[in-house]
Amino acid sequence: MTFREDVRNDGLRQAISKLADERFRAIMAGISLDELRALLRGDDITERPNPRYRAQVKSFILHLRPKFYQEGSTWFTHTFRLGYFSVFTFLVEVITGLILMVYYAPAPGRAYGDMLNILSNVTFGKFFRDLHRLGAELMVIVVVLHMGRVYFTGAYKKPREFTWLTGAILLFITLFLSFSGYLLPWDQLAYWAVTIGTSMAEAAPIFGNETNLLLRGAQDIGAGGLLRFYLLHVFFLPLLAILFISIHYYKVAREHSISLPAPIEEKTAPSEKIQSATRRIDILPDLVTSEIMWAAIGLAVMIIAVTFFYEAPLESHANPLKTPLHTKAPWYFWFLQGMLKLGDKTLWGVIIPTVMYVLVLLVPYTDDPNINPFSHTSRLATKRKFSNAMGIVTAIIMVIFSFMGTPNYGVTAPPPVEVVQEFLPEEGKGYQLSICTRIGGCDGGIRAIPYEQLTLGLYDTREPSNYPSGVLGEVMHDFAEEITRRLPDDPAAYGTIGITQAQENLKRMEMTVYFTDPETETEDESSYSLPDYVHEEVHYEGIEE
């Protein structure tokens, strides 16, 4: 019937509401407005046949989902929704990444400027950049935790071996998605972390140099390397991720469903529990509404984090001629950096990590009593003592390797360099003034000393009576303590801070450590110093007395 006929038969009001209902159902795959309300409130269906099943058949997105799960598979404590959160963080990355892409061009002459532009001129630019960076880190955490959950609940066992395999490939993709984004800001942190990363590829046997060239586009990272990392980051790896997430989810949703908790599946739980665990839970409304709630909670947590606590770092412009003191890989690759400290680059940087990764890929196939006499076919924790112990030992080893990857372990820089860099780091805030602790934190490290408190003069740690008053005096005190702590075998070592007026409104502050160089074997004094400049108009945050 046409709209005009409806008006003639039922009146204008009825005809409009019928038209609206038709349009609404067309968009919502057969669900009426009343039904949508009932669905979101968790009420019973409003009409028959069940429009919720119809929607699942008709809508593309819902079509990808199974109609129902068994209740036990959806218990929060079974999966912690970690697979779901992996997809969630990936989607946050896609959306925020598309926004950032609009304002960014992958060329060495532009990239850093574009970052500054995003941070200062683009509306909500900093917000989206922080969200994107936080999302990338969260995605790595969530995917690793998801893998841990699957491992410790034995959910990779028959028939889900292939699901695990595709998951392990997704782990690799996730890590490299995050890492390939690392270079794009074109700052010192990015440039040197990626230089180290790609130089590990160089250590690979036979094709090392070729792999390195392929990644960097030249002997050193430059325009070619930046473009390659950009294409990996925005095109190749996301496509690969979408492909593998689809396969992974198809296996979960269409073939094997999510596993039930082991005591339910193996019927060792009390019968009432088994009964409730095997009840049907419809995707619509129960699961979808809970997923909407988790997405809202996830987004709220991320937004609160970037608004109040989290800030994506941006260091100074990439400088291929100046290697910073402690180049650091992103935290999820610290374990590799730690392993590299153990010796040969090819063995510890390439061969052993590759073997470790292959072992991860093969977990479901090797955890089989026919291959490994310690393993067990059961998924019950009480029966998988060996596998669980292996999982825990691996996690502990990874934490230890990661700690070894930080500059706290096996530091190679000479102590005088460490002392000066601690107070005046080339990047970051470094040393926190004790006044910062008293006033609850301030932001600029030693650079936060107010301009007017930088009294001109040369201060020497051997003459505490000449220390200036105020914050600078406190710094001298800490400086002297640090020299004694870091150079215990050199009692003659001392330090100076010299403050001069470089220009009107600009003071020069130079920190120097004098020490006896053990290598020269003479009593001659060596020194290491770094200058810094403080402008009257530039205020680091937080310190005002």
**Sites of contact with ligand HEM (CB under 6 A):** 79, 81-84, 86-87, 90, 143, 146-147, 150, 155-156, 160, 163-164, 167-168, 170-171, 174, 245, 248-249, 252, 258-259
Q: At closest approach, how far in Å is the CB of 366 from ligand HEM?
A: 14
In the complex, what is the shortest distance from the CB of residue 508 to ligand HEM, in angstroms, rounded to a whole number? 51
Angstrom distance (rounded) from CA 136 to CA 157: 29
Q: Which is nearer to ligand HEM, 156 or 423 (CB)?
A: 156
The one-character DSSP state at 153 is: T
Tokens of 110: 């532009």
Q: How far is the CB of 388 from ligand HEM (least distance, A)?
A: 16
Contact 453, 470 (CB under 8 A): yes
**Spatial separation of the C-alpha atoms in residues 155 and 147, rounded to whole Å:** 10
Q: Which is nearer to ligand HEM, 116 or 239 (CB)?
A: 239
State the minimum distance, in angstroms, from the CB of residue 159 to ligand HEM: 10
d(CA 381, CA 153): 7
Taking the least distance from each CB to ligand HEM, the nearer of 163 and 421 is 163
User: What is the signed CA dihedral for 147, 152, 153, 155, rounded to 10 degrees?
Assistant: 50
Please state the closest distance from residue 296 (CB atom) to ligand HEM, in A: 18
**Complex with ligand HEM: residue 167 or 324, whichever CB lies closer:** 167
Residue showing the smallest CB distance to ligand HEM in the complex: 167
Name the residue nearer to ligand HEM (CB basis): 225 or 261: 261
Question: 324, 188 in Cβ contact below 8 A?
Answer: yes
Name the residue among 313, 308, 83 with its Cα closest to residue 185: 313
CB of 361 to ligand HEM, least distance (A): 8
245 or 419, CB closer to ligand HEM?
245
CB of 163 to ligand HEM, least distance (A): 4
**Residue 162 burial (C-beta neighbours within 10 Å; 0-12, 13-18, 19+):** middle
Where do runs of H (alpha helix) occur along 251-370? Answer: 262-265, 271-277, 288-304, 334-340, 345-346, 352-361, 363-366
Closest CA to 545 of 436, 429, 430: 436
Nearer Cβ to ligand HEM (12/358): 358
Return d(Cα 27, Cα 29) in angstroms, integer.
Answer: 6
Residue 115 makes CB contacts below 8 A (sequence gap 6+) with: 104, 129, 185, 186, 187, 314
* C-alpha angle 191-194-197 in degrees, rounded to nearest 5: 155
* Residue 384 Cβ vs ligand HEM, minimum distance, rounded to whole Å: 15
Please identify, using beta-carbon distances, which residue of 156 and 514 lies nearer to ligand HEM.
156
